[in-house]
Amino acid sequence: MSDHVAQGSPNAKGSQHVLEVAGLSAWYGEAKVLSDVDLRVEPGEVVTLVGRNGAGKTTLLRSVMGLHRHVEGTVSWGGSDLGRSSPDKRARAGLGWVPDDRGIYATLTVAENLTLPPVTSKADAWSLEQVYEQFPVLHERRDFPGTKLSGGEQQMLAIARVLRMGSRLLLLDEPSEGLAPVIVQRIGEIIRQIKAQGVSVLLVEQNVTFASTVADRHYLLAQGRVVESLDNDSFQSRTTELLEYLGM
């Protein structure tokens, strides 16, 4: 099975690495920020969540990760319900968290940032050599405090960190935000590369041009609801209309 996935064939039969969210609602205090969200990410699939600020995209990612606890509905991963399991269990089950602030530790060096999380799947984990080969700048700066890197480098570090864990699904929260076009392009390349390895990506993105260059499918979120779910071709042909509808 894992051979299948390693060859990058999505929908590998019998694969255990499907993320399924069903009837998910989430609250902040009294305010309901997600209503009855259903979504699915197949192995090796890149799926985006598109929507304006406050649509509930980040809350959705946090709920999948187990960081937002005030929820109803189910999140299942690899066929088993994650229930109330803690974020660290979910991470060890293969979910790779890349938060919107990149989450780089200032008190840890670049190398420590990379090696802090446990390796969760030996078969899937990138070795440190592999990481440094892909991201030479992280090698050059391995002894610097993590936050001494530029924004783009920090984003690379945050992604490399979960790849080194061997995560099977990356939860990427606006990786392109605030970065120069050339860096955004590089991040696009990385996403395509990890997709080719059979790793899935759930991507929150406001930059729809960027989203359409990497994604297989899109979910449009407005006021905590999924208002549309469509493949990349229809997304590209209807971009203007959809963006207007979303008010972006």
Partner 1 sequence: MTAFIQYTLQGLALGGFYALAALGLAVIFGVLGVVNFSHGACYMLGAVGAAVLLDATGLGFWAALPIVTVAMFVFGVLMERLLVRWLLRLDPLYNFLLTFGITLFLVDLVKRRYGVSSLAYELPAGLKGRVDIGSVSLSSYQIFVAAFSVVLCLAVWVLLTRTRIGMIVRAATEDAERSRALGINVGRWVTPVFGFGIALAGLAGVLRAPTGSVNADMGSFFIIILFAVVVIGGLGSILGAVVAGFLVGLVEAYGQGYAGSFSQVLIFVLMAVVILVRPSGLFGREEAAS
Residue placing its CB nearer to partner 1 in the complex, 89 or 192: 89
CB of 118 to partner 1, least distance (A): 5
d(CA 207, CA 204): 9
CB 225 within 8 A of CB 35: yes
Residue placing its CB nearer to partner 1 in the complex, 91 or 211: 91
CB of 162 to partner 1, least distance (A): 8
Residue placing its CB nearer to partner 1 in the complex, 22 or 67: 67
CB 23 within 8 A of CB 36: yes
CB of 202 to partner 1, least distance (A): 14
CB of 170 to partner 1, least distance (A): 12
Three-state DSSP class for 101? coil
Tell me the two tokens of residue 45: 């699939």
Pairing of strands 225-231, 217-222: antiparallel
d(CA 95, CA 19): 10
Residue placing its CB nearer to partner 1 in the complex, 118 or 151: 118
Residues that bind partner 1 (CB under 8 A): 65-67, 86-88, 90-92, 97, 99, 103, 105-108, 112, 115-118, 120, 161-162, 165
